[in-house]
Structure 1
Amino acid sequence: MTTGTTAAVVKERLAAAGVPELGEVLAEEVAEPLVFASVSGAHLYGFPSTDSDVDLRGAHLLPVEALIGLETPRDTQSRMWLREGVELDLVTHDLAKYARLMLRRNGYVLEQLLSPLVLRTTPVHAELAALAPLVLTRHHGHHYRGFARTQWRLFERSDELKPLLYTFRALLTGIHLMRSGEVLAHLPTLAAEVPSAPPYLGQLIAAKATAEQGLRGELPGAPTPERLRDAVEALGAELDQAQRDSTLPAEQRGHRELHELVVRARLG
């Protein structure tokens, strides 16, 4: 699912999360100005469980007064609420910190920025998203490779579906990004668009929908550990090759444009 996802599909997926009006929650709970807020985590990736919390991520804008005095303000804020039995977890960074994270080849912040599940947006959000292509490089492949390795090690210790699906999601997102220049985090869509995606991903996604801690060992007909390891190693090698062949630039651009956007937003 890409950033062109229609509002109707977005609303349907949010309703499936158990909290159909997350935008209203933000309006009630968050006082300071948000640049944007979007849905991330398992709901963005396409494999939420019935008991998954809802991860909300975004950026806020600290006022000039908070930055020019003696006190150093917190540039990251976290909040959690419980609505209708669903846990909501919102983490936002000040716009300047968010821009710096974009310049660190951080795939997470780009996934959040370009998430189709947008709850709060502003003209600054639109400008920030328009600058995302300038910061993309072939080196973003390192981010996805490293995250996949971490999640695979976690799966080997826990035998849980969540880190296994995170492993495949990271590898397939990295492969797709290296080949197309598009940040795509939705695993069911990736499974359909990357020919080498394992055919059993649909089965694993369906199994995880029943519970956050579903175990591979409890699934009838589940792929063996050897088969899973072979698939992960093959996708890792494919990501390596896709990174070598990528037409994405080696160096980032956009530093000046991001700087000017932060200054205009702060002063405006």
Structure 2
Amino acid sequence: MTALRRAGVHADLSAVTAEEPHPLVFATVSGAHLYGFPSRDSDVDLRGAHLLPAADLVGLREPEETRTAMRDADGTELDLVTHDLRKFVRLLLRRNGYVLEQLLSPLVVRTGETHRELASHAPGVLTSHHAHHYRGFATTQWRLFGRTGELKPLLYTYRALLTGIHLLRSGRVEAHLPTLHGEVAEAPGRLPELIAAKEAAEHGVVEAGLDTEAVRSEVEHLHTALDAAQAATRLPGQPSAGAALHDLLVRVRLG
């Protein structure tokens, strides 16, 4: 059984990525399947990087640095988003945890030597400021939960905070919520129950009996833990992989 099938992705995604007009550096699955709480009706979020020809970057026309497409694969709706490699690297160097998780996702659809080399530089882009990314993402999702009462943004809130705490403490990127539940001491005990409830429907709402004040307290506690992890982290304030990533980009583009 492949990692994709274990994560609940049963569609054949390789044919979809083969249709892209520019060579793909890599493509991986992100979103709820990566985070460990897909629903039976979840879309598949496919993310990655493509490589534009050098001529597209030196002329007058604006290059297509980001491509998006919605497609159907074996009856599953697929959301495909890729960035040109230069933009992807720039995002990596701007404490963007989202693209970092895409790069290191174990749910790999397309890969190659450039993907592997790019991933090898991931430790050199980690900084203490990644806390800002996860704090901000969690805050946005918490507000969305307050407006909708849906399980999805609540789980995204927990996931973002726990990933940030884990990263700042360990120097490792872990986006899988069930794994984080077992590895981060502050993870709320209710998470397995919430994950099981979300499996039934992508936009399901929380049960009427959920103690929202207790949930609020848990989220506030995780924010406090993230602040403490940032203050104590051994991660540097600035990325160290900039020069190596520049060399990689030039070599791949001209090659």
Question: Does TM, scored on the shorter chain, surpass 0.5?
Answer: yes
1:243 maps to 230
For the residues of structure 2 that align with 1:118 and 1:180, how far apart are their CA atoms? Answer: 23
Aligned-partner SS, 1:93: strand
Secondary structure at 1:182 match in 2: coil
Partner of 2:17: 26
Does structure 2 retain, via aligned residues, the 8 Å contact 1:159–1:217? no
Q: Distance in 1 between matches of 2:16 and 2:86?
A: 25
**Alignment match, 1:263:** 250
CA distance in 1, matches of 2:2, 2:135: 30
Cα distance in 2 for residues equivalent to 1:210 and 1:46: 14
Amino acid of the structure 2 residue aligned with 1:35: V
Partners of 1:136 and 1:252 within 8 A in 2 = yes
Structure 1 position 252 matched with structure 2 position 239: yes
1:217 corresponds to which of 169, 187, 207: 207
CA shift digits 1:123-144 (9 cap, x unpaired):
1111111111111011101110
Q: In structure 2, how many angstroms separate the alpha carbons of the residues matched to 1:238 and 1:154?
A: 22
Show structure 2 runs of 5+ residues with no match.
none
The residue matched to 1:82 in structure 2 has which SS?
Answer: strand
State the secondary structure of the residue aligned to 2:69.
strand
The count of residues paired between Structure 1 and Structure 2 equals: 255
Are the counterparts in 1 of residues 4 and 10 from structure 2 also a CA contact under 8 Å? no
Match of residue 81 from structure 2: 91
SS at match of 1:216: coil
What amino acid is aligned across from residue 164 of structure 1 in structure 2?
L
Quick one: which of 3, 10, 16 aligns to 2:3?
10
Secondary structure of 1:37's aligned partner:
strand
Tell me, what secondary structure is at the counterpart of 1:223? coil
Mapped to 1, the partners of 2:177 and 2:2 lie a distance apart of: 16
Aligned to 1:89, the other structure's residue is in SS state strand
Moved over 2 A (4+): 11-14
Equivalents in 1 of 2:228, 2:120: separation in Å?
28
Q: TM-score if structure 1 supplies the norm length?
A: 0.92
Cα distance in structure 2, aligned partners of 1:88 and 1:11 = 14
AA partner of residue 130 (structure 1): S
Aligned ranges 1:58-69 → 2 under 5 Å: 58-69=48-59
Checking the alignment, whether the CA contact within 8 Å between 1:160 and 1:213 is kept in structure 2 is: yes
* Deviation digits for residues 157-211 of structure 1 (CA, Å, limit 9, x no counterpart): 1110000000000000000000000010000000011111111100000000000
TM superposition score normalised by structure 2 = 0.97
CA shift for structure 1 position 43? 0.4
Partner Cα distance (1:125, 1:36) in 2: 6
d(CA) in 1 for partners of 2:140, 2:157: 8
